């Protein structure tokens, strides 16, 4: 087998589990293979096919995958063909004739084709020595990608009782595995389960706020590298691809709405490196065997962890370091919930909601993401720190959170455990919201008592309190918070509680760089830090963390402007410590004749304004800068006012910083519509229109939404 491996595939050694699986197949035994994307599943049936005298039948749901694999096999000198809807009857008849003459080693077919009685009759004329069921999770209703056509495959054992079957999948929980074996009648199959841990993948979740500029900044790290960006809708793929192209990237949108030949062309351009970024719905990727995808980004979080794992599995299939970034906002839940609510079958709908809840839990973790992911698929991680997710690689500072934790717990108690995290935050921050006033919660002692944390930081503290079992988060469409026994006991005690210091917008966009900093200056800065800490009676890291000092000793900032770009330097610390640290750094560089390192290329999130999509948007931006009224802008461009508001929405979503204060409606109208958005959410306009008893026109409502998002 190793000789065949080298001769046809060019490899000297098998990957983990491949040799054992191939040995089982050669011995004509049934096999179940659970192996991550990029682990080498295909070889487990392709190599044995060369040893058998007859034909190997491969059932796959993916037309693109069939073509890619057949092309690759032919390039390696292996006789392979596929039969699917992309071929005409003449081409299909020619392949059938070749198969009946035993001129084909591997034949790929779609499950729909197998369902036809005439095709089953044709298969009975062949000497089939092995049947491979790829993407086997599609047969299970418990799986994330159930396909009814796969249900017909339960006849395989009846039609071909003596032919070994190998079922393969990259994503399956224990329940799905059991269901696959049952559906395919593989009770005696040998199970081969590979590790789900892709050590070369770094996974991260970042806040979906100013997402497009963040995405552009992230892509700067992967200039001319292969990238897949997954989006929720067809429209979104096209808008993002257009914006990326206007920013100098080479991107194409890919979705099921494109004409078949266009999809095929885009796919080929990506595989052949003629374009390096694909912006796609989940219609793309399952059939792509491209090993050098360096980044997979989810612009909207996926609806299942199985789907997420399969999609990030398209990164780094060559084993080299690659990155997987998910943009997360809880507001995107509504996008998925809209389609889940359309599922008629109660059990299927309930299952879909459970799977979505798992994704939300994963996205909001404050502990190792890989550990959670592996555990979901029934595998235990050997260590608590994976060193490859944003949680484990982000520097953690501890803070005394006793006071803020008690404020949060008190707020939950005083609102009788009836509300979620955002509402609790709004009370603590003293927000002037109609719902809070209606409930008289603006009269509570906890209203507005938090001054030193913002909303994002409070949310991170709440997440930590949930993980540590001080707070219980009730699951469901509208999750509420309640205090646990542990939380109640803490609330009444004098106990001290240390938590990780909240980090605003934790982002894998920042690379973890080992800086070759000047050790001598670093030591001087540490001494200064220690002296200041003693005077102020605080731990040294409260002044600056080691990472900040290392950057100072690497970049040698000479001005307050440059010093402000050092990690950990905010406005307050800049004002408080900037001059004293700068004096040490400036003296050191002069005395040692050191040239400062420019901070321009320092890996820091820079919000870049995206290119304008059309000439109309560009003109609208020009006129907004000149403080031109909307009706006047519309008249100049011969457009409707509503269209101008659409331009503004796109400009804001793209990260443009525009001063729109002059566009505000009369105060009463503005406040009324604003409060309606707070009550109804800002995803859709119709609920707000109806909530306001249809008193305000849509263009005014839409304008207020733009102003709120600006």
Helices (H), 512-545: 519-536, 540-543
CATH superfamily of 2-193: P-loop containing nucleotide triphosphate hydrolases (3.40.50.300)
pLDDT above 80 for 668: no
Q: Which CATH class is domain 201-393?
A: alpha beta
Q: Please report the sign of the dihedral spanned by the C-alpha atoms of residue 363, residue 367, residue 370, residue 371.
A: negative
* Secondary structure (3-state) at 159: helix
pLDDT above 90 for 129: yes
pLDDT for the residue 48:
94
Chosen CATH of 398-500 out of 1.10.10.10, 1.10.3720.10, 3.40.50.300, 2.40.50.100: 1.10.10.10
pLDDT digits (tens, 9 = 90+) for 156-176: 998 999 999 999 988 777 888
Which residues are CB-neighbours of 22 under 8 A, at least 6 positions away?
1, 14, 43, 44, 47, 48
Residue 220 CB-density burial (10 A; 0-12 exposed, 13-18 middle, 19+ buried): middle
pLDDT above 60 for 360: yes
pLDDT for the residue 454:
82
Identify the band that residue 510 occupies on the pLDDT scale cut at 50, 70 and 90. very low
Residues 226/292, Cβ–Cβ less than 8 Å: yes
pLDDT above 90 for 59: yes
Residues 424/415, Cβ–Cβ less than 8 Å: yes
pLDDT digits (tens, 9 = 90+) for 205-247: 998 877 888 898 889 888 878 999 999 888 889 989 988 888 8
Q: How many CB atoms lie within 10 A of CB 7?
A: 11
pLDDT for the residue 405:
94
* Residue entry with tokens 């993002």: 240
pLDDT above 70 for 553: yes
Which is higher by pLDDT, 383 or 308?
308
Within 13 Å and on the Cβ side, how many CA atoms surround 325?
A: 28
**Domains 398-500 and 615-709 belong to one CATH topology:** yes
Poorest-confidence range of 170-174, 347-351, 454-458, 692-696? 170-174
* Secondary structure (3-state) at 278: strand
pLDDT above 90 for 85: no
Residues 260/266, Cβ–Cβ less than 8 Å: no
The closest alpha carbon to 48, from 156, 159, 132, belongs to 132
Residues 204/295, Cβ–Cβ less than 8 Å: no
pLDDT above 70 for 595: yes
Q: Which CATH class is domain 519-591?
A: mainly alpha
Q: Domain spans of the chain? A: 2-193, 201-393, 398-500, 519-591, 615-709
Poorest-confidence range of 18-32, 92-106, 677-691? 677-691
* Secondary structure (3-state) at 34: strand
The closest alpha carbon to 308, from 296, 321, 318, belongs to 296
**Cα dist. 470→364, 424, 426, 461, 491 in Å?**
16, 15, 20, 11, 9
Residues 709/674, Cβ–Cβ less than 8 Å: no
Residues 167/289, Cβ–Cβ less than 8 Å: no
First to last CA, the chain: 63
CA-angle at 375, arms to 372 and 380, nearest 5°: 115
pLDDT digits (tens, 9 = 90+) for 321-350: 899 999 998 878 888 888 888 888 888 888
Q: How many Å is the maximal CA-CA distance in the chain?
A: 90
Poorest-confidence range of 48-57, 296-305, 459-468? 459-468
Report residue 467: phi and psi, to 5°: -60, -40
pLDDT above 80 for 652: no
**Range from 392-396, 522-526, 689-693 that averages highest in pLDDT:** 522-526
Q: What is the pTM of this model?
A: 0.56
- What are the structure tokens assigned to 656, written together? 């443009």
pLDDT digits (tens, 9 = 90+) for 252-288: 999 878 887 888 888 888 887 889 999 998 756 555 6
Which is higher by pLDDT, 325 or 69?
325
d(CA 152, CA 157): 11
Strands 471-473 and 481-483: antiparallel
pLDDT for the residue 612:
40
d(CA 335, CA 681): 13
pLDDT digits (tens, 9 = 90+) for 564-594: 888 777 777 888 899 999 999 999 999 988 8
Helices (H), 342-417: 346-363, 369-376, 390-393, 402-414
**Cα dist. 128→53, 105, 161, 164, 582 in Å?**
9, 10, 11, 9, 77
In the DSSP assignment, the letter for residue 138 is G
- C-alpha dihedral over 491, 494, 498, 499, to 10 degrees? 10
Residues 699/668, Cβ–Cβ less than 8 Å: no
615-709 placed in CATH 1.10.10.1390: yes
pLDDT above 70 for 145: no
Which is higher by pLDDT, 298 or 695?
298
């Amino acid at each position: 087998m190793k000789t065949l491996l080298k001769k046809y595939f060019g490899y000297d050694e098998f990957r983990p589990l491949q040799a054992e699986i191939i040995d089982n197949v050669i011995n004509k035994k049934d096999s179940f293979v659970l192996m991550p994307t990029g682990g080498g599943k295909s070889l487990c049936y392709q190599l044995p096919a060369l040893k058998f005298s007859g034909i190997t039948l491969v059932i796959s749901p993916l037309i693109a995958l069939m073509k890619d694999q057949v092309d690759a096999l032919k390039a390696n000198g292996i006789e392979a063909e596929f039969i699917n809807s992309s071929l005409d009857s003449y081409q299909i008849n020619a392949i059938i004739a070749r198969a009946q003459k035993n001129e084909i080693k591997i034949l790929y077919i779609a499950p729909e084709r197998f369902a036809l009685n005439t095709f089953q009759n044709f298969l009975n004329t062949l000497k089939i020595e092995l049947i491979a069921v790829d993407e086997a999770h599609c047969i299970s209703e418990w799986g994330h990608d159930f396909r009814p056509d796969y249900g017909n495959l339960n006849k395989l054992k009846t039609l071909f009782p003596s032919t070994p079957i190998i079922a393969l999948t990259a994503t399956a929980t224990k329940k799905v595995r059991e269901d696959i074996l049952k559906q395919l009648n593989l009770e005696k199959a040998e199970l081969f389960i590979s590790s789900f841990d892709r050590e070369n993948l770094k996974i991260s979740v970042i806040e979906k706020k100013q997402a497009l500029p963040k995405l552009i900044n992230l892509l700067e790290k992967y200039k001319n590298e292969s990238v897949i960006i997954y989006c929720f809708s067809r429209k979104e793929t096209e808008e993002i691809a257009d914006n990326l192209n206007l920013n100098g990237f080479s991107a194409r949108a890919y979705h099921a709405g494109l004409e078949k030949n266009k999809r095929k062309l885009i796919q080929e351009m990506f595989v052949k490196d003629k374009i390096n970024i694909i912006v796609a719905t989940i219609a793309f990727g399952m059939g792509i065997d491209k090993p050098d995808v360096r980044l997979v980004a989810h612009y909207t979080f996926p609806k299942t962890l199985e789907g997420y794992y399969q999609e990030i599995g398209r990164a780094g299939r060559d084993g080299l370091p690659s990155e997987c970034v998910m943009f997360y906002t809880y507001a995107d839940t509504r996008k998925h919930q809209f389609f889940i609510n359309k599922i008629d079958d109660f059990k299927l709908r309930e299952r879909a909601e459970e799977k979505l809840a798992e994704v939300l839990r994963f996205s909001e973790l404050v502990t190792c993401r890989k550990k959670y992911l592996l555990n979901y698929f029934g595998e235990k991680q050997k260590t608590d720190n994976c060193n490859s997710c944003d949680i484990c690689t982000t520097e953690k500072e501890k803070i005394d959170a006793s006071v803020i934790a008690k404020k949060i717990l008190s707020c939950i108690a005083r609102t009788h455990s009836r509300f979620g995290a955002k509402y609790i935050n709004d009370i603590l921050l003293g927000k002037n919201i109609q719902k809070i006033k209606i409930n008289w919660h603006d009269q509570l002692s906890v209203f507005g008592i938090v001054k030193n944390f913002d909303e994002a930081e409070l949310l991170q503290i709440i997440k930590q309190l949930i993980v540590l079992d001080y707070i219980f988060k009730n699951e469901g469409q509208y999750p509420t918070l309640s205090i646990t026994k542990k939380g109640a006991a803490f609330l009444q005690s004098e106990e001290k509680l240390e938590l990780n210091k909240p980090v605003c917008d934790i982002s894998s966009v920042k690379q973890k760089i080992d800086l070759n900093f000047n050790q001598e200056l670093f030591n001087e800065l540490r001494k200064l830090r220690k002296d200041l800490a003693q005077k102020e009676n605080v731990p040294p890291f409260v002044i600056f963390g080691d990472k900040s000092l290392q950057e100072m000793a690497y970049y040698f900032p000479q001005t307050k402007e440059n010093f402000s770009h050092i990690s950990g330097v905010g406005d307050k610390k800049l004002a408080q410590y900037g001059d004293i640290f700068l004096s040490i750094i400036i003296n050191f560089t002069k005395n040692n004749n050191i040239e400062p390192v420019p901070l321009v290329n320092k890996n820091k999130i820079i919000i870049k304004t995206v290119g304008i999509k059309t000439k109309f948007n560009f003109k609208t931006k020009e006129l907004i800068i000149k403080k031109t009224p909307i009706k006047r802008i519309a008249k100049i461009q011969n457009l409707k006012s509503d269209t101008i508001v659409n331009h503004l929405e796109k400009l804001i979503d793209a990260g443009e910083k525009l001063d729109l204060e002059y566009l505000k409606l009369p105060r009463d109208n503005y406040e009324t519509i604003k409060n309606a958005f707070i009550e109804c959410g800002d995803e859709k306009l119709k609920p707000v229109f109806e909530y306001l008893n249809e008193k305000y026109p849509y263009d005014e409502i839409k304008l207020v939404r733009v102003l709120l998002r600006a």
